[in-house]
Amino acid sequence: MEIIVGLFIVFYLFMLTATFINKHKMKWAEIRKKYSFTRNEIKRIESETKPGRIFYAINNDWSNTNLISVCKQQEFIYIWGSELSCGWLFQPLKIPISDMNYIKTRMCFFRTRDVYEIFTSNISLQYAVPREH
């Protein structure tokens, strides 16, 4: 039993470390300084739209994760961490589309998404956002 508990703790610490490294690569803290909003707004957004899984690129190296949700509503892109797993690491972002560059349309998991790009510290961050219906 101790072995199972020990393995679970090691696995959890490994996942937490990987999440911290990913957060640093995504420049989350730098973007958050300029584009933050409250968790209360998330509840409103989740009730009005269906947020999608995030697909993102750091200097054109594409990845995706279930830990972060994304949606586009009116003139903003909303990005936030899941409360079920490490959501406290990825505080909510509300980025005006006017501050981003539209790049292209991309298919991700059989769903058409619009790709927007923002630069921070000379690093290109791209987000594939599900299209509004």
Rounded-to-integer distance, Cα 95 and Cα 112, Å: 20
What are the angstrom distances between the C-alpha of 117 and each of 124, 131, 133? Answer: 7, 15, 21
pLDDT at position 62: 83
Token digits for 92? 């909510």
Give CATH for domain 2-130: 2.30.29
Residue extents of the structural domains in the chain: 2-130
Which residues have C-beta within 8 Å of that of residue 4, sequence separation ≥ 6? none
Cβ–Cβ under 8 Å, residues 76 and 70 = no
pLDDT at position 21: 64
Cβ–Cβ under 8 Å, residues 124 and 100 = no
53-106 pLDDT, tens digit each: 778 888 888 887 777 888 888 888 888 877 666 566 677 888 898 989 999 888
29-65 pLDDT, tens digit each: 778 888 888 878 888 887 777 777 778 888 888 887 7
Cβ–Cβ under 8 Å, residues 25 and 68 = no
pLDDT at position 53: 73
Which residues have C-beta within 8 Å of that of residue 17, sequence separation ≥ 6? none
